[in-house]
Amino acid sequence: MDTSVVKAEYKVFKELGLKLDMSRGKPSSEQLELSNAIHNQLSTFKSKEGIDIRNYGGAHGLLEARLLFESLLDIPYSQIIVDNNSSLALMHDAIVFALIYGFPDGAPWIRKPISILCPVPGYDRHFAICEALGINMININMHEDGPDIEEIKNIVKDNPDIKGIWCVPKYSNPTGAVYSDEVVHSLATMDTAASDFKIFWDDAYRFHHLTDEKISTANILEQCTKAGYPNRPIIFSSTSKITLAGAGISALAASSSNIAWWEKCTAVRSIGPDKVNQFRHVQFLKDRVNVEHLMGQHSRILKPKFDAVIQQFEYYLKDNPNISWTNPKGGYFIDLKVPQGFAKRTIELAKDLGITLTPAGAAFPYKIDPMDSHIRIAPSYPSLSEITQAAKGVALSLLLALNE
């Protein structure tokens, strides 16, 4: 596109004075309304086990809720804890407990400097936990089939201070990458110098397909157990993007030994999770088939928004061989890859158009994108017409940045 045309279009856009937010992977109200029936009055407060769900107790979560997650995660319910509304809180606490108490197979992490591997670009909130807690982060390159496994194998086999890796195995935030069976197998079987090496497996988008392909990933707990490392993975899941973003339920799954450790660590923290909300979820979600049906409804709202972004990118950006974007088969994000050194400037120019994007570098440890070339696009929250506008604005901002 001609520079003068870009400038003119950018100017016209700016004069519209829009206010568009594509910064976070928030579901839209339309999506939240798919779960309206979750607020229906409960007909009983007695659980399957005869517990009054309103009272104290049940640290590992309601049996019904654990059975629901058993069917969703393909892991026995006895190895699943169901908790309150935030799986991020479970990840945070797992690392805090590792720092203070240590995992059953190692010493407290706080005793000496440790590192965690961070496939990049990745989820900013994973990296924020590490940064706050003073845990060193090491970048690992992401490919379409997961993180660079040779890089990982090389670094973990000799270094006992590398204690873990963050993984979003399916429709990864933000690239949409899906871990191949080979990658999962390698993570499960590789030699690690640290006896207490942990895979923090954030299965955030397990049912969040955007196509009919409904991709599945290998069962990390099964793979690790088969390889003789049952205590390696800690799996996190939630209904935040299935039912209600801020009022869902969360789950942690792991080996029996890790579950016993978790129960011991958390026993002094609380007398149990909110079982009423767990019960509501069980009554509403019922079973895996029903969850998959619900996710189909989400998909029908989300897919046109992703398509609209990609259509705008194709229209404005397809002529530039140094610009690319992901076309994910699920999840909540598109990763726009721009020429080195242009992400920050593009985001600034978009801001002048009234478009809020995730800050440049957010998808990297310490908020530093070494190439300044990734822009995370979150199409879920705005309306379809807003998202179309916003994508056009981002494209124009990028073209203007390149022409400056």
- CB nearer its own copies, residue 131 or residue 151: 131
Give the nearest distance from C-beta 56 to its own copies in angstroms.
5
Residues 57-96 that bind its own copies (CB under 8 A): 57-58, 84-86, 88-89, 92-93, 96
Which pair of structure tokens corresponds to residue 379?
């199409």
What element of type H or E holds 69?
helix 63-73
Residue 42 zone, left/alpha/beta (φ > 0; ψ -120 to 50; rest): beta
Give the nearest distance from C-beta 332 to its own copies in angstroms.
12
User: How many positions of this chain bind its own copies (CB under 8 A)?
Assistant: 52
Give the nearest distance from C-beta 233 to its own copies in angstroms.
21
Contact region with its own copies (CB under 8 A), list: 49-57, 112-120, 297-305, 392-400 = 49-57
- Rule CB under 8 A: is residue 215 a binding residue for its own copies? no
3-state secondary structure of 319: coil
H helices present in 82-241, as ranges: 87-100, 124-132, 149-156, 181-189, 220-226
Amino acid at 235: I
- Rule CB under 8 A: is residue 341 a binding residue for its own copies? no
- Rule CB under 8 A: is residue 246 a binding residue for its own copies? yes
What is the spatial distance between Cα 12 and Cα 32, in angstroms, rounded to a whole number?
34
- Rule CB under 8 A: is residue 244 a binding residue for its own copies? yes
H helices present in 286-342, as ranges: 288-317
Per-residue binder mask for its own copies (CB under 8 A), 121-160, x = binder: ----x--xx-xxx---------------------------
- Is the Cβ–Cβ distance between 34 and 249 less than 8 Å? no
Residues in the chain: 404
- Is the Cβ–Cβ distance between 277 and 315 less than 8 Å? no
Contact region with its own copies (CB under 8 A), list: 3-11, 38-46, 147-155, 384-392 = 38-46
Give the nearest distance from C-beta 57 to its own copies in angstroms.
7
Which position among 6, 27, 255, 362 is part of the footprint of its own copies (CB under 8 A)? 27
Amino acid at 313: F
What is the spatial distance between Cα 402 and Cα 404, in angstroms, rounded to a whole number?
6
Which position among 11, 45, 341, 383 is part of the footprint of its own copies (CB under 8 A)? 45
- CB nearer its own copies, residue 144 or residue 263: 263
Which residues on neighbouring strands pair with residue 142, listed in sequence order? Answer: 147
- Rule CB under 8 A: is residue 227 a binding residue for its own copies? no
- CB nearer its own copies, residue 53 or residue 291: 53
Sheet hosting strand 80-83, strand order edge to edge: 80-83, 250-253, 233-238, 198-202, 162-167, 115-120, 136-143, 146-147
The DSSP code for 233 is E
- CB nearer its own copies, residue 246 or residue 341: 246
Residues 247-306 that bind its own copies (CB under 8 A): 247, 265, 267-277
Which pair of structure tokens corresponds to residue 268?
């002094």
What Å distances lie between residue 190 and 135, 178, 370, CA to CA?
Answer: 22, 19, 28
Which position among 8, 12, 16, 42 is part of the footprint of its own copies (CB under 8 A)? 42
What is the spatial distance between Cα 89 and Cα 198, in angstroms, rounded to a whole number?
17
- CB nearer its own copies, residue 125 or residue 293: 125
Give the nearest distance from C-beta 243 to its own copies in angstroms.
9
Which position among 4, 29, 44, 385 is part of the footprint of its own copies (CB under 8 A)? 29
Pairing of strands 233-238, 250-253: antiparallel
Give the nearest distance from C-beta 173 to its own copies in angstroms.
13
What is the spatial distance between Cα 128 and Cα 99, in angstroms, rounded to a whole number?
16
- CB nearer its own copies, residue 146 or residue 273: 273
* Residue of 210, 205, 201 lying closest to 75 (CA atoms): 201
Give the nearest distance from C-beta 93 to its own copies in angstroms.
8
- Rule CB under 8 A: is residue 52 a binding residue for its own copies? yes
- Rule CB under 8 A: is residue 386 a binding residue for its own copies? no
Q: What is the largest CA-CA distance in the chain?
A: 72
- CB nearer its own copies, residue 26 or residue 298: 26
Binding residues for its own copies, rule: CB under 8 A, are: 24, 26-27, 29, 32, 35, 39-42, 45, 52-58, 84-86, 88-89, 92-93, 96, 99-100, 110, 125, 128-129, 131-133, 240, 244-247, 265, 267-277
